[in-house]
Amino acid sequence: MSIVLAVKKDDQLVIAADSQISFGGARIPYANLRPKKIRRLGDSFFASTGWGLYDDIIDDFVAGKEDIRLLDSRSIFRFFLGLWKELHERYSFVNDQCGEEKESPFGDLDSSFLIVNHSGLYQVGSDMSVTRFNQYYAIGSGGDYALGALHSLYDSALCAADIARRGVEAAIAFDTKCGGDVLLHAVSELPIGESAGS
């Protein structure tokens, strides 16, 4: 697992993650494997927690697509509807997941996603529901620790980048599945109207 979070405050919107990569019980040093936890996808930063195979699937799914726009809840939902269809038609090794607690009438991606861009901060749940947050959100195994830190720090004098950094640091300090360095990107790094896949 991992920690990925985003913070929007004043005129700043940032996304941050830890750098730890694990294979089972083994952690891989950052110098030996640079994670792609936060990627640029069109006019957005896109990140996920859960199965690492989604990195390869997403890369393959968007290859050759010239104009990917994830700029509102509806376009994000449609992107994931397309992904869901491809998961079943093109990636035959993907199993349908079902929640352990109760049966659900909906599919389960068994991963969560954060998308940030000039229009805002969006979380995509494992059931493909899209939620827009006004201030902050965190996903991954360290999410509860990070959310506590974000809630406590949000009304302080700290800027969004400093709050995000401290949120990731809280997850690293308390969750054994989080670690390494803090990776941070500001939405201001994304030019409006850029082509997909950069």
Output the tens digit of pLDDT for each of the chain's 198 residues: 689 999 999 999 999 999 988 877 788 877 787 778 899 998 999 998 877 778 888 888 888 887 888 989 999 999 999 888 888 788 766 665 554 555 666 667 778 999 999 999 999 998 889 999 999 999 999 999 999 999 999 999 999 999 999 999 999 999 988 999 999 999 998 766 544 444
140 vs 26: CA distance, rounded Å: 18
**CA angle at 63 for the pair 60 and 64, rounded to the nearest 5°:** 150
CA-CA distance, 135 to 133, in Å (whole number)? 6
3-189 folds as Glutamine Phosphoribosylpyrophosphate, subunit 1, domain 1 (3.60.20)
